[in-house]
């Protein structure tokens, strides 16, 4: 369990204060991201889930490893592979694979 609360807006404020980023994926699933870990709301709790494919995050933990494959730069953190993409909001890291 990560967090448990009965009031959604209080959860959002707490997550914001903790530096946890809300990552909307689609209309049915909302993920939260913090330091390379993804969470999904399950009832009144948040549970750790696998990194969703193609999700974009603004930053990776400082100890993410940089690798080059076929001349392309990637980052790996906790066995999740990210590529760098440019969006209207700036540079983002996109989940492109899992080394597990």
Structural contact between residues 13 and 23, judged by C-beta atoms closer than 8 angstroms: no
Please tell me the distance from the alpha carbon of residue 37 to that of residue 80, in angstroms, as a whole number: 10
Give me the domain span that covers residue 44.
8-49
Please tell me the distance from the alpha carbon of residue 38 to that of residue 50, in angstroms, as a whole number: 7
Give me the chain's average pLDDT, please. Answer: 77
- 23 assigned to some structural domain: yes
Confidence of residue 12 (pLDDT cuts 50, 70, 90): very low
Count of domains observed in the chain = 2
Q: What is the pLDDT of residue 27?
A: 45
More reliable by pLDDT, 38 or 96: 96
pLDDT tens sequence across 58-92: 889 999 999 999 999 999 999 999 999 998 989 99
A 10 A CB-CB count for 10 gives 11
Confidence of residue 47 (pLDDT cuts 50, 70, 90): confident
- 3 assigned to some structural domain: no
pTM over 0.75: no
- 42 assigned to some structural domain: yes
């Amino acid at each position: 369990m990560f967090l448990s609360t009965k009031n959604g807006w209080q959860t959002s404020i707490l997550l914001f204060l903790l530096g946890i980023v809300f990552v909307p994926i689609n209309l049915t699933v909302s993920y939260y991201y913090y330091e390379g870990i993804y969470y999904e709301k399950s009832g009144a709790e948040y549970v750790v889930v696998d990194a969703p494919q193609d999700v974009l995050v603004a930053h990776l933990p400082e100890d993410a490893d940089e690798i080059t494959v076929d001349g392309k730069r990637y980052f790996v953190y906790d066995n999740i592979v990210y590529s760098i993409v440019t969006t209207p909001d700036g540079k983002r890291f996109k989940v492109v694979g899992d080394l597990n």
